[in-house]
């Protein structure tokens, strides 16, 4: 389900979205302040807000120093917000619904990646969007002059005629993340007037395979319609990923998903260089094992259901063969292959460890170019969790 206008779906849905976080240090401030006696030698003159401050003895017995700490979240939001934009427009064709008037609009979010006006956002935010307007944090409006869309990754690059913008800093690798790490999301939830809203949460899981061609970051930051394309930010002020999906249903709370920074960088490099993503392809249709489909920690191989390319036929691969590994790297799911192929180019020769007619064999295959392998069927709106996109 696409979100953008203020469309809502009653059943549990995975929404393409941008997340946002809000946090202040008021709670910690009050608790610490209350712990300093009025007659403390430190006194009010030693109480400093906005920095680390060591004050005098809090108790006569222990004479231990009390260290005041201030929540870093507000400062991080202040630093990153200038790199976050709102995107608004009207969908055309079958994505448009409701009366055809000037108020029937949809919106999403984006992240500035170059000072001269290049912005990364979700593909589902931009596709079919007419008369789109980008609004920066200083309330300046721009038209989109160029766009490159990659629906497989759900990422898109757009260009506005602007200078001296503040690019966001992207994390070098999402592999450094830890479950439980505090994160911030910034975006444009529900109403376009709520641009640069923020929410705070933690990383709930890593390497999630959820209705996407690549693995995602899971977090419990609040996600709402209109947040698609916004950043998930670390406590170092770096963009960890682009918010894209959420689960939405009665009884399900705070399950959002972001496209990791390494995948974002891979897609951006391709779009900047070619204007499209040139992905390698095995030229095969593959079926995952039952264990992989339900999420069991198994290493069952994939089964070839159809040979699509001439290269695959020349390699001697036939329907019913079983794939164990690519260049010595074990693969057990379609997402495994897509992730592995981010370091490959079309035309590269690879060795496939396979089983054919009961024999373990090695097939040499020259990779073609095409869409990566995707699998799984979207859940219906029957009350169970469904992955949806959210603008």
Q: Is 228 a catalytic residue?
A: yes
Q: Which of 65, 271, 88 has its CA nearest to residue 195?
A: 88
| Cα gap 290→210, rounded to integer Å | 16
Q: Which helix (H) or strand (E) holds 91?
A: strand 84-91
Known catalytic residue: 154?
A: yes
- Beta-strand runs (E) in 98-181: 106-112, 118-121, 129-135, 141-150, 155-160
Q: Which residue blocks in the chain are alpha helix, DSSP H? A: 26-34, 73-80, 123-126, 261-274, 290-294, 310-314, 334-340
- DSSP-derived 3-state class of residue 299: coil
Catalytic residue, from 150, 154, 262, 321: name it: 154
User: Of 13, 124, 137, 150, which is the active-site residue?
Assistant: 124
Q: Which residue among the candidates 137, 174, 204, 228 is catalytic per the annotation?
A: 228
Give the bridge partners for 85, in sequence order.
Answer: 110
329 is catalytic: no
Q: Which helix (H) or strand (E) holds 323?
A: strand 322-326
Q: How far, in Å, CA of 331 to CA of 124, rounded?
A: 29
Contact status, residue 134 vs residue 144, Cβ threshold 8 Å:
yes
Catalytic residues: 124, 154, 228
């Amino acid at each position: 389900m696409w979100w953008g206008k203020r469309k809502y779906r009653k059943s549990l849905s995975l929404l393409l979205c941008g997340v946002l976080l809000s946090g202040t240090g008021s709670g910690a401030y009050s608790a610490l302040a209350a712990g300093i006696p009025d007659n403390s030698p430190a006194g009010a003159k030693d109480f400093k807000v906005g920095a680390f401050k060591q004050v005098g003895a809090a108790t006569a017995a222990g004479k231990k120093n009390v260290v005041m700490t201030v929540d870093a979240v507000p400062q991080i939001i202040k630093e990153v917000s200038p790199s976050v934009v709102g995107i608004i427009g009207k969908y055309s064709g079958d994505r448009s619904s409701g009366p055809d008037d000037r108020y029937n609009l949809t919106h999403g979010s984006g992240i500035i990646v170059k000072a001269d006006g290049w912005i990364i956002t979700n593909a589902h935010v931009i596709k079919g969007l007419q008369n789109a307007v980008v609004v920066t944090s200083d309330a300046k409006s721009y038209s989109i002059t160029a766009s490159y869309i990659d629906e497989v990754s759900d990422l898109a690059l757009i260009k506005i005629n602007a200078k001296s913008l503040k690019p966001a800093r992207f994390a070098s690798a999402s592999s450094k993340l830890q479950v439980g790490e505090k994160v911030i999301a910034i975006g444009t939830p529900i109403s376009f007037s709520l641009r640069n809203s923020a929410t705070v949460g933690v990383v709930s899981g890593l390497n999630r395979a959820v209705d996407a061609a690549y693995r995602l970051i899971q977090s419990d930051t609040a996600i709402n319609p209109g947040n698609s394309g916004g950043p998930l930010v670390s406590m170092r002020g770096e963009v960890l990923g682009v918010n894209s999906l959420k689960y939405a249903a009665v009884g399900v709370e705070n399950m959002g998903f972001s496209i990791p920074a390494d995948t974002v960088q891979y897609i951006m490099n391709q779009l900047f260089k070619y204007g499209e993503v040139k992905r390698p392809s095995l030229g095969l249709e593959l079926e995952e094992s039952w264990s992989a489909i339900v999420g069991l920690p198994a290493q069952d191989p994939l089964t070839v259901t159809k040979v699509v390319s001439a290269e695959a036929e020349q390699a001697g691969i036939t329907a019913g063969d079983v794939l164990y590994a690519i260049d010595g790297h074990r693969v057990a799911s379609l997402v495994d292959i897509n992730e592995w192929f981010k370091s490959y180019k079309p035309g590269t020769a690879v060795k496939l460890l396979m089983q054919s007619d009961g024999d373990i064999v090695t097939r040499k295959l020259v990779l073609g170019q095409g869409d990566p392998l995707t699998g799984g069927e979207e859940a219906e709106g029957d009350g169970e969790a469904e992955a949806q996109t959210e603008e």
